[in-house]
Amino acid sequence: MLKYSDYHIVFQEVPGEVTLAFNITNCPNHCKGCHSPYLMEDTGEVLDHVSLAGLLAKYKNAITCICFMGGDADPDNIERLAVFVRDTTNNQVKTAWYSGKQDFPASCSLHHFDYIKLGAYMEELGGLDSQKTNQRFYKVIDGKMIDMTNHYRDCLNFAR
């Protein structure tokens, strides 16, 4: 069962999108130097079709994307929620997933996502805003991941 600690409307996580981002709890990755260690705990509100439908209805005219920040403990459920977002919004709201894993799960299909971030946070390499980062940000086009990490970084630097 997926749970989230909170959610926010954000502008940086997915360039060019107004994103409703969920901070998913019960993170199994335990990255050294994690900026949100409270997300390692199994706490928060249940994130399922019912709760997601309510938030989609509430913010439907304010957002262009839903981003699941985490969820590595239950990737199949993340995918089910992404499918639900697409079906519920007639593909009008894009889907993104920030995973701390190095690889996209073999049990999931890229066709259900528009954006994917992969890679554990490594304190010495920094996050997506660092030139040295191991993390990658991808746009999914026709089921293929196109590396947009440099574009992502350029957007962040432009905004500063």
Which residue shows structure tokens 């574009």? 151
pLDDT in tens, 101-155: 999 999 999 999 999 999 999 999 998 989 999 999 999 999 999 999 988 887 7
Specify the pLDDT at position 151.
84
